[in-house]
């Protein structure tokens, strides 16, 4: 009966659904830790520096994620689907790590223990993410990459909404124990769903160790390249001039996005005395459906227009928003103005990701595309963690509006440099189109 179900390689609809829910699964713990719990700690009087350190600890495994890419590619062969064994195994371990959060009774007094448990969970989640990305880049056709990335980011946003708004509400009314319990239950349900989905029609559901040695050797030779060769190719792909220039611009934008939203959230809770649950709901709840629709629409546009062109337009839009919104920082005490800005900001990260991810995928070399893309994602995660830490540090010296304007100016500088580096014949056309935005 299960053998009759569609498989990823043969069904575009199944690919969209699968990568959507897999990223929901990744977004739930992220929204819970980095938004719901971080805002909860801010409301309880924990310093911005301590919160930034907590976020950095949770994010460390995502920084070293590049280590897992070559290992996953080296041992990718599996009778249940290439790399799927990595996904299922790490999902199970992430579930048990989530259950360990039940040992935390008071997040404030047990901040160290909670940080350690989230750190352990992040290790398994980062391997899961690397495995999913490797599967996606190996089976998704080029013509679908914009839309698949849109569903990935849309799923992550949906997971963030559940983790931040949903689990923040559970945390607020019932306590940390029940919030952690709900998260664990959701992860278990989605893990069971992963087990049922096959990549190819020849894949099985149960691992088997009864292969003839010759068949096993043939599969390993074809599917498992040497680890030394993988690392060498990975280094070559990442250090190429085009790769360094393209990713450098993307990394700076992601860092600025992280710096602004962390400082803005802290300002709302500490300086304007907003309830932490209200901020979490606004960040991950209201407007999520609209953001999801816009994100998927952005994926369609990226496939038609080209992700590089869309990326420049999104960067310019983010830059203008940051400069204008933060220039009117004195008006943030007007809730209608501030809520509108926060809801509008919810479109920034997903739209930029929809444009940037296909650009990074196009840079990946054949046979190491999974490893190279995972390395890019590790560095993007580093940008998010570094942005969180820098935000906590910067808030001790200046204000959130100043930080926001600075981030906007840095992104504008990136846009300006990218336009200058365009071929001469492309500059007038691009500048003209910018004027028409």
Domain ranges of the chain: 2-435
State how far the Cα of 165 lies from the Cα of 277, in Å rounded to an integer.
Answer: 7
| Residues ≥6 apart with Cβ < 8 Å to 182 | 166, 167, 170
**What pLDDT, on a 0 to 100 scale, did the predictor assign at position 33?**
92
State how far the Cα of 337 lies from the Cα of 327, in Å rounded to an integer.
Answer: 13
What percentage of the chain carries pLDDT values higher than 90?
27
Could you count the other beta carbons within 10 Å of the beta carbon of residue 236? 13
* pLDDT (average), residues 54-61: 86
- Give residue 77's pLDDT band: very low, low, confident or very high (50, 70, 90): confident
**What pLDDT, on a 0 to 100 scale, did the predictor assign at position 100?**
95
Domain 2-435 is found in CATH 1.10.20.10? no
**What pLDDT, on a 0 to 100 scale, did the predictor assign at position 218?**
45
Cα distances (Å, whole numbers) of residue 86 to 89, 192, 225, 375: 5, 14, 17, 17
Question: pLDDT for 335-367, tens place per residue?
Answer: 889 888 887 887 787 788 888 888 888 888 877
Closest Cα to residue 363, out of 301, 307, 407, 427? 307
**What pLDDT, on a 0 to 100 scale, did the predictor assign at position 208?**
55
Q: Are 365 and 372 in contact (CB under 8 A)?
A: yes
**What pLDDT, on a 0 to 100 scale, did the predictor assign at position 91?**
94
Of the candidate ranges 180-194, 207-221, 257-271, 331-345, the one whose mean pLDDT is the lowest: 207-221
Considering 52-61, 170-179, 339-348, 379-388, the range whose residues carry the highest mean pLDDT is 170-179
* pLDDT (average), residues 126-141: 85
- Give residue 205's pLDDT band: very low, low, confident or very high (50, 70, 90): low
| Cα–chain center distance at 158 | 12
pTM of the complete model: 0.70
pLDDT at 217 over 50: no
pLDDT at 164 over 80: yes
Question: pLDDT for 267-277, tens place per residue?
Answer: 888 888 888 77
Closest Cα to residue 172, out of 185, 182, 160? 182
- Give residue 289's pLDDT band: very low, low, confident or very high (50, 70, 90): low
For residues 292, 294, 296 and 299, what is the CA-based torsion angle, rounded to 10 degrees? -140
State how far the Cα of 94 lies from the Cα of 9, in Å rounded to an integer.
Answer: 26
pLDDT at 74 over 90: no
**What pLDDT, on a 0 to 100 scale, did the predictor assign at position 123?**
92
**What pLDDT, on a 0 to 100 scale, did the predictor assign at position 28?**
94
| Residues ≥6 apart with Cβ < 8 Å to 82 | 76, 135, 138, 199, 223
């Amino acid at each position: 009966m299960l053998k009759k179900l569609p498989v990823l390689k043969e069904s575009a609809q199944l690919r969209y659904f699968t990568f959507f829910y897999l990223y929901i699964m990744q977004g739930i713990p992220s929204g819970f830790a980095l938004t719901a719990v971080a805002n909860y700690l801010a409301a309880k009087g924990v310093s911005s520096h301590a919160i930034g350190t907590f976020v950095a600890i949770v994010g460390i495994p995502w920084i070293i994620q590049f280590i897992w890419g070559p290992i996953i590619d080296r041992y990718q062969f599996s009778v249940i689907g290439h790399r799927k064994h990595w996904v299922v195994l790490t999902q199970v371990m992430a579930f048990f790590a989530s259950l360990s959060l039940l040992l935390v009774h008071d997040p404030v007094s047990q901040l160290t223990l909670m940080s350690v448990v989230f750190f352990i969970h992040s290790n398994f989640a980062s391997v899961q993410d690397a495995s999913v990305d490797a599967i996606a880049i190996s089976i998704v056709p080029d013509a679908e990459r914009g839309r698949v990335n849109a569903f990935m980011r849309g799923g992550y946003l949906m997971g963030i909404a559940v983790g931040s708004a949903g689990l923040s509400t559970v945390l607020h009314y019932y306590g940390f124990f029940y919030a952690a319990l709900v998260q664990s239950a959701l992860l278990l349900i989605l893990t069971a769903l992963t087990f049922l989905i096959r990549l190819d029609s020849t894949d099985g559901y149960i691992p088997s160790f009864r292969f003839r040695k010759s068949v096993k050797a043939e599969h390993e030779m074809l599917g498992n390249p040497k680890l030394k060769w993988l690392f060498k190719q990975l280094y070559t792909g990442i250090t190429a001039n085009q790769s360094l220039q393209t990713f450098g611009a993307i990394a700076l934008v992601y860092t600025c996005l992280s710096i602004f939203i962390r400082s803005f959230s802290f300002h709302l809770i500490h300086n304007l005395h907003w309830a932490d649950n209200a901020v979490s709901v606004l960040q991950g709840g209201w407007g999520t459906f609209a953001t999801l629709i816009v994100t998927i629409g952005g994926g369609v546009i990226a496939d038609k227009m080209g992700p590089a062109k869309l990326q420049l337009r999104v960067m310019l839009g983010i830059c203008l928003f940051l400069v204008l919104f933060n220039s009117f920082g004195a008006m943030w005490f007007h809730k209608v103005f501030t809520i509108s800005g926060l809801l509008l900001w919810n479109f920034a990260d997903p739209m930029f990701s929809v444009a940037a991810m296909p650009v990074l995928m196009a840079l990946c070399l054949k046979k190491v595309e999974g490893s190279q893309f995972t390395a890019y994602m590790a560095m993007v995660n580093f940008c998010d963690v570094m942005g969180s830490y820098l935000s906590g540090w910067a808030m001790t010296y200046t204000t959130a509006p100043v930080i926001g304007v600075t981030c906007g100016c840095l992104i504008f500088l990136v846009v300006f440099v990218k336009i200058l580096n365009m071929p001469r014949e492309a500059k007038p056309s691009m500048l003209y189109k910018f004027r028409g935005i």
